[in-house]
Amino acid sequence: MANYRRAWIPGGTFFLTMVTYQRKPLFENSDRVENLRKAIAQVKQEMPFDIIAAVVLPDHLHFIWKLPLGDANFSRRVGRLKVLFTRYQFGESVSVRSGSASRRKHRESDVWQRRFWEHTIRNETELNQCLDYIHYNPVKHGYVSYPHQWKHSSFHRWVKLGYYSRDWGCPVSGNTSQKFDFKTIEYFIRE
């Protein structure tokens, strides 16, 4: 059995990836994205944290979360988010009968992959690289041609804050995917 180790850094900033079960495109539907937002709001109310950046793609999510001082439990928040979204979307009676014996044993529905990926962001350089990765992700996966075209992204908020120009990542501005160096962070990013 695998021995997963998580970084427990109170008040830390974490890059997180959550993937749907068997890569089902659950979030192609805007109603499901709205249910995800409701679930996030409830988790934030129960266990406060800040969302620095986010992107919701059809079959996976990327976040950068900042936890409060003295709190390192992002894992509990991720678990709660998955449970709440599943309940909002499919009700209390979502079936755990399908899937593998292991999924049935752990009472897991066929909504999310069992685990999630995290990386502790250690400095501002890593934070900036993760921000770029998150905001360019819809382009990387071929859903849109330019980051500003993707609706379910914090990119628009970061443009308003002046961090990005609206044409960031666009060939017109000279920022094409060939100029992005995600190799330095891909060792900890899983999709």
Tell me the per-residue pLDDT of 68-109, one tens digit each, with 9 for 90 and over.
999 999 999 999 999 999 999 888 655 554 556 654 444 556
Higher pLDDT, 102 or 180: 180
Instruction: Report whether 72 contacts 8 (CB < 8 A).
Output: yes
Q: Which of 76, 107, 77, 79 is nearest to 94 (CA)?
A: 107
What strands lie across the sheet with 50-56, from one edge to the other?
A: 50-56, 60-66, 13-19, 117-120
pLDDT-above-70 percentage for the chain: 77
Is the pTM for the entire model greater than 0.75? yes
Q: Indicate whether 23 pLDDT > 50.
A: yes
User: Per-residue pLDDT for 189 more than 50?
Assistant: yes
In order, the DSSP letters of 90-147 are: H-TT---SSS-HHHHHTT--SSB-S--EEEE--SHHHHHHHHHHHHHHHHHTTS-SSG
Is the confidence at residue 110, as pLDDT, over 90?
no
Question: Nearest-CA neighbor of 168 among 125, 176, 160, 62?
Answer: 176
> Mean pLDDT lowest for which of 71-80, 163-172, 181-190?
181-190
Question: Mind listing the pLDDT tens digit for each residue in 123-161?
Answer: 999 999 999 999 999 999 999 999 999 999 999 999 999
